[in-house]
């Protein structure tokens, strides 16, 4: 047998300390995940409903304020304030429910960031929970439950 029959070996290849590194010489760039669209929408819906609740309570307070200040008198003027408050709270609660569903959809998407989906789902869920608890307290205080 000749030397040509054997494959040439690098003298450093047999050395365990100079072999191929266990890591890539160039760091791989991490995949940059995009934020989920439904998650952002859920977060925006939560912020809009919080602002809507604040505005509706301020407007209803301004409409009902003169009626409440007059003791033992009943005016029909205060009814529109209570009606506005009730309808706006119901509309905003429906919007919170939509935001909760959209947030859950944003959490279910794969390959997307879930930060806004988590925040939007938590805020919308907490607002809906407070709304349900408010209705339960009112029904208990009236004696319906």
Question: What's the pLDDT tens digit per position in 47-89?
Answer: 999 999 999 999 888 887 777 666 656 566 667 778 888 899 9
Cα–Cα dist 92/103, whole Å: 16
Q: Whole-model pTM? A: 0.71
Q: Which two tokens stand for residue 61?
A: 């307070």
> Residue 12: is its pLDDT beyond 90?
no
Tell me how far apart the 2 most distant CA atoms of the chain are, in Å.
Answer: 119
Give the angle subtended at the CA of 128 by the CAs of 124 and 134, to the nearest 5°: 145
């Amino acid at each position: 047998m000749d030397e040509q029959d054997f494959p040439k070996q690098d003298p450093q290849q047999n050395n365990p300390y100079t072999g191929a590194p266990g890591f890539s010489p160039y760091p791989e760039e991490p995949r940059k995940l995009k934020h989920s669209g439904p998650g952002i929408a859920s977060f925006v819906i939560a912020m809009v409903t919080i602002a809507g609740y604040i505005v509706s309570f301020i407007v209803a307070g301004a409409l009902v304020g003169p009626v409440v200040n007059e003791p033992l008198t009943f005016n029909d003027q205060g009814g529109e304030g209570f009606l506005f408050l009730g309808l706006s709270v119901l509309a905003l609660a429906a919007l919170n429910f939509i935001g909760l569903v959209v947030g859950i959809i944003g959490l279910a998407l794969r390959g997307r960031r879930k930060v806004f989906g988590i925040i939007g789902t938590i805020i919308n869920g907490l607002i809906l929970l407070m709304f349900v608890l408010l209705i339960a307290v009112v029904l208990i205080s009236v004696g319906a439950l």
